[in-house]
Amino acid sequence: MDLLKEKIKKDGTVLPGNVLKVDNFLNHQVDAKLMDQIGEEFARLFKDEKITKVVTVESSGIAPALTTAIHLGVPLIFARKHKSVTLTDDLYTAKVYSYTKKVSNNISIDKRFLNADDHILIIDDFLANGQAVQGLLEIAKLADVSVSGIGIVIEKSFQKGHAMIEKTGIRLESLARIASLKDQSVTFVE
Ligand code: G4P
Ligand code: NA
Ligand code: NA
């Protein structure tokens, strides 16, 4: 998606440790118009997959997942990282390990929101090591739902996540694929 790549070039900054900072349009301040165009693009790519629900993890996945859900005309479910006071204990839970933070956290979705006849589309802002996606795939398995696709806004193709998803055979669409963040500069996959 050229518009997104231009935005990354213009407004993204590369931090030490192969981290791309995009908090001025994706991770903190959100470019609402761009999010809408991202949602429109995911909806176009996955329109024939009979998606019944879009699923993400809070918090940064919610913005692109919401616009995708709007364009597909289906509900959005975001997995929660912290136990809500209103959550019952009827949850599907998976453990997610963060390589960056070196901690494991649980993500959960209430059993009421996933049914065996669902065809879900997983959306996330970043794909790095793929731990968040793996957690959602684990929850999908527990809930016996089928995963019709995975949509990623920014993929760091040089980390483990892309290869991990490829092995599952699930359709993956990443709108911007980054080959390298070396020397403080962003190089996209050709
Ligand atoms: P993974 O899910 O791909 O395995 O991600 P990893 O553990 O490597 O990274 C932990 C968090 O850092 C995730 O967000 C992930 O989206 C984010 N992240 C990874 N690489 C980058 C990067 O280059 N730039 C930015 N901006 N974020 C990156 P999270 O902790 O789940 O946070 P949030 O959704 O609450 O924002
Ligand atoms: Na994030
Ligand atoms: Na995320």
Q: For position 87, what pLDDT does the model report?
A: 58
Mutate to test the pocket of ligand 1, among 56, 100, 177 (most ligand atoms within 8 A of CB): 100
Helix or strand or coil: residue 149? strand
Residue of the CA atom closest to atom 21 of ligand 1: 19
Does 131 show up as a binding residue in the annotation?
A: yes
* Overall average pLDDT of the 66-83 stretch: 96
pTM of model > 0.80: yes
Task: Establish whether 20 is an annotated binding residue.
Answer: yes
Nearest ligand to the CA of 25 is 1
Distance 131 CA to ligand 1 centre (A): 9
* Predicted confidence (pLDDT) at residue 83 exceeds the cutoff of 90: no
Q: Give one DSSP letter per residue of 18-51, joined into a string.
A: TEEE-TTTTSSS--HHHHHHHHHHHHHHTTTS--
| pLDDT band at 88; cut points 50, 70, 90 | low
State which ligand 1 atom lies nearest to the alpha carbon of 131. Answer: 4
Model pLDDT, residue 101 = 84
Given ligand 1 and candidates 11, 126, 152, which is best to mutate, with the most ligand atoms within 8 Å of its CB?
126
Q: Is 45 annotated as a binding residue?
A: no
Question: If you average pLDDT over residues 180-184, what whole number do you get?
Answer: 95
**pLDDT of residue 158 exceeding 90:** yes
> 119-150 pLDDT, tens per residue?
999 999 999 999 999 999 999 999 999 999 99
Q: Look at ligand 1, atom 26, and give the residue with the nearest C-alpha.
A: 21
Q: How far apart are CA 175 and CA 154, in angstroms?
A: 6
Domains, the chain, in order of start with CATH, read 2-168 (3.40.50.2020)
How large is the average pLDDT for residues 100-107? 90
- With a Cβ cut-off of 6 Å, ligand 1 is lined by 19-22, 27, 59-61, 98-100, 125-132, 156, 161
Q: Collect all residues with Cβ–Cβ distance below 8 Å to 69 and sequence separation of at least 6.
A: 39, 53, 54, 75, 76
Distance in Å, CA 148 to ligand 3 centroid: 19
Higher pLDDT, 147 or 85: 147
- Is 24 assigned a ligand-binding role in the annotation? no
In whole angstroms, give the CA distance from residue 9 to residue 94: 35
**What is the distance in A from the centroid of ligand 1 to the CA of 162?**
14
Q: Which of 94, 73, 181 is nearest to 138 (CA)?
A: 94
Whole-complex ipTM: 0.92
8-state DSSP, 159: S
Contact in structure between 25 and 49 (CB atoms under 8 Å): no
Q: What is the pLDDT of residues 43-67, one digit of tens each?
A: 999 999 999 999 999 999 999 999 9
- Percentage of the chain with pLDDT > 70? 97
